[in-house]
């Protein structure tokens, strides 16, 4: 079964809006795990506008499922990840000023840089993933630079889902199948929701993990956190 990793950035955003420790990021992560999620994802950015570097340090020994740290591989980010030793590090090509992740890596253009970063992470026993779009040539490039997995950037699927789910999911089906053929694991994330997740998971195979934050935390405002995690898990079963 595809694992659900919950991105808790939005919980930190709410906390930071007021200051203090409410809502408590550590407690939220523990509760999310207890409700059945198989992973916790964070994406610390240089301005620490949601998850902070100190959050990552405190979460590292407390997360009992898979801990996934996303981000642009600056030296500061790499040092943080290496110290935290998560199960997985996901490289995302977003500049510091980006509001949210909005593109995948060009693994051909940035191949030498990615290879060096991936080798460093893997030397510390950390599984690696690259945030990427569905271009098969770029997926081949991901294999060449030495990543363990790719994470498919799913905003185009989410945007196209209402207009025709078969057409929207087709590039992701091809990409996942191709990645599997060349020996890469497949994750996915960005704008997956209760409305579009089940169809995606049924068609994109194999699919090791989905990382979901904004939609899940937003749904939790209406349905409650425990119930919402269960609802998302049901879409993957």
Give the 3-state secondary structure of residue 218: helix
Closest-CA residue to 236 (of 199, 188, 184): 199
**Of the candidates 177, 199, 204, the residue with the CA atom closest to the CA atom of residue 188:** 204
From the candidates 33, 43, 66, 209, which is the catalytic residue? Answer: 43
Residue 70 is among the residues annotated as catalytic for this protein:
yes
Catalytic residue among 70, 133, 151, 209: 70
Please compute Rg for the chain using Cα positions: 17
What 116-123 contacts at long range (C-beta under 8 Å, 24+ apart), as own/partner pairs, is 117/73, 117/78, 117/91, 118/91, 118/145, 118/146, 118/147, 119/146, 120/78, 120/82, 121/78, 121/81, 121/82, 121/89, 122/146, 122/148
66 is known as an active-site residue = no
Given 33, 151, 190, 209, the catalytic residue: 190
Q: Has 110 been annotated as catalytic?
A: no
Q: Which are the catalytic amino acids?
A: 43, 70, 190
């Amino acid at each position: 079964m595809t694992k659900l990793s919950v991105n808790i950035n939005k919980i930190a955003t709410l906390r930071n809006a007021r200051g203090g420790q409410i809502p408590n990021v550590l407690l939220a992560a523990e509760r999310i795990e207890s409700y059945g999620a198989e992973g916790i994802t964070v994406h610390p950015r240089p301005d620490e506008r949601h998850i902070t570097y100190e959050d990552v340090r405190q979460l590292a020994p407390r997360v009992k499922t898979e801990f996934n740290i996303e981000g642009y591989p600056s030296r500061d980010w790499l040092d943080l990840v290496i110290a935290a030793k998560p199960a997985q590090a996901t490289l995302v090509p977003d500049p510091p000023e980006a509001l949210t992740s909005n593109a995948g890596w060009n693994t051909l253009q940035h191949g030498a840089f990615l290879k060096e970063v991936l080798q460093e992470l893997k030397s510390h026993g950390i599984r690696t993933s690259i945030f990427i779009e569905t271009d098969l040539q770029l997926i081949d490039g991901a294999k060449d630079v030495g990543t363990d997995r790719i994470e498919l950037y799913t905003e185009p699927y989410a945007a196209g889902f209402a207009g025709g789910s078969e057409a929207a999911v087709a590039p992701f089906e091809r990409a996942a199948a191709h990645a599997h053929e060349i020996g890469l694991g497949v994750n996915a994330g960005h704008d997956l929701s209760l409305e579009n997740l089940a169809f995606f998971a049924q068609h994109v195979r194999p699919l090791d993990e989905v990382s979901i934050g904004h939609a899940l935390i937003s749904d939790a405002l209406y349905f409650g956190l425990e119930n919402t995690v269960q609802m998302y898990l049901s879409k993957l079963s």
